[in-house]
Amino acid sequence: METIFVTGHHATFICPACGFSTCRDVLRFLQIESAVRIRCTCRECRHTYRVLLERRRFIRKPTACAGRYRISGRTPREGDMIVVDISRTGLQIQSMVLHVFYPGERVELEFRLDKGSFPLIRREALVKNVRSQYVGMAFVSQEHTDALGPYLAFL
């Protein structure tokens, strides 16, 4: 299944059989929470194919960076984690300790990149979603002036 990236509220569909392309309005699909898979029929050759609409602003980079998280507040918690994927706006971690995370909670993160001299990265993030041990987070600041900037530059 091919992945198609959405720009604004339009996406360009390219037939894998003949190469015919068309730009379509996909606004009605942007509010759907789950993955959007569409069956398309080419207007030129009538080939039927399926696509996945990618609505993210930035591509996620799969990683396996080890680190730690720390949550302050009423019930302070900390533990080991693996950064599962990362983008310019956030990341997804896998907690090695079964802690409860709450959406909106502020988390301090420390992890080492898996490239170059393995620099230590420190960031603050907000919890966006939780699925068991997997936690999606958005960076508090999208300014990446340290080693994370070049690491993410080619996504």
Please check whether residues 137 and 74 belong to one and the same domain: yes
Residue 41 CB neighbours (<10 A): 10
What was the pLDDT predicted at 128? 93
Domain count, the chain: 2
- Distance CA(115)–CA(117), nearest Å, equals 6
Range of the domain at 135: 61-152
Spatial neighbors of 76 by CB under 8 A, at least 6 apart, are 70
Neighbours of 121 (CB within 10 A): 18
Q: Do residues 74 and 46 share a domain?
A: no
Please report the pLDDT score of residue 71 as a whole number. 94
| Statement: the pTM of the whole predicted model exceeds 0.85 | no
* Whether 48 and 66 share a structural domain: no
The reply to whether 90 and 148 lie within a common domain is: yes
Q: Which of 15, 30, 54 is the last residue of a domain?
A: 54
**Residues 45 and 70 both lie in one domain:** no
Pairing of strands 48-54, 36-41: antiparallel
Query: Residue 155's pLDDT is what?
Result: 57
Mean pLDDT by runs of 10 across the 155 residues of the chain is 82 92 89 85 95 78 94 89 93 91 94 87 94 94 86 73
- If residue 129 lies in a helix (H) or strand (E), which one and from where to where? strand 120-131
Same domain, 72 and 143: yes
Q: 66 and 135, same structural domain?
A: yes
